[in-house]
Amino acid sequence: MPLIFITGGVRSGKSHFAEQAAIQHFQAQPNIEKRLIYIASGIALDDEMEKRIDRHQADRLAQPIKWLTVEAPYDIAPVFETLKDGDVVLWDCVTTWLTNAFYEGYDCGAPCVTKPGCLASKLRTVKQAIQSLQTKNVTLLVVSNELFDEPPYQNEEVELYRRTLGQLHQWFVASAQEAYEMNYGIVKRWK
């Protein structure tokens, strides 16, 4: 399974780059049955996020190739289990999924981040699900935001989020065959 990790700042062009790369991988396998899948982790909690989701959906609809969109804001591992040989999958994005993981259960008064072992369990499950794809002929492109150029925050929860995301990014890069960073629409290949 090829794993391709793409990171960069907000609105740096990483989603567009990832979509184009996914289409290229999809088209490179002309004689096998396959699907082009977009795993969306975003939840429209405010107008800005709703507009971003709408823009991403419109971008995919404007392309000549049909995407299968799967909404997976929380439990992404079962989606990975449904993937088949030949599938090309774009997961956008890790940062929104991690935010969802941190605060899942907030509406009931017990967000995951406050429960001992909850977050570690979610991270372990995602990593295992991705590792299980090693046995399948699936191309997985993973998009995430780069949040490490700013000085540390005084808020302990924000710093926990940044540390967790940083560790997750390191795991993705170590596991990936290719790793890219986007800045201002410019691509830098690190691996």
Tell whether 105 is in a known binding site.
Answer: no
pLDDT digits (tens, 9 = 90+) for 154-186: 788 888 999 999 999 999 999 999 999 999 889
pLDDT digits (tens, 9 = 90+) for 113-146: 999 999 999 999 999 999 999 889 999 999 999 8
CA–CA distance from 154 to each of 158, 159, 162 (Å)?
Answer: 8, 8, 12
Tell whether 41 is in a known binding site.
Answer: yes
Tell whether 175 is in a known binding site.
Answer: no
Give the model's pLDDT for residue 44: 58
DSSP 3-state of 73: coil
| Active-site residue list | 56
Distance, in Å, from the CA atom of 55 to the CA atom of 92, rounded to the nearest integer, reads 13
- Burial tier of 40 (Cβ tally within 10 Å: 0-12, 13-18, 19+): buried
Number of domains in the chain: 1
Tell whether 9 is in a known binding site.
Answer: yes
Distance, in Å, from the CA atom of 180 to the CA atom of 162, rounded to the nearest integer, reads 19
Distance, in Å, from the CA atom of 83 to the CA atom of 105, rounded to the nearest integer, reads 28
Q: What is the DSSP letter of 126?
A: H
**In this structure, what token pair is assigned to residue 88?**
């090309």
Which stretch of 18-32, 36-50, 173-187 has the lowest confidence by average pLDDT?
36-50
**In this structure, what token pair is assigned to residue 159?**
């710093």
Higher pLDDT, 53 or 153: 153
CATH number at residue 7: 3.40.50.300
Residues of the domain holding 83: 3-189
What's this model's pTM, rounded to 2 decimal places? 0.87
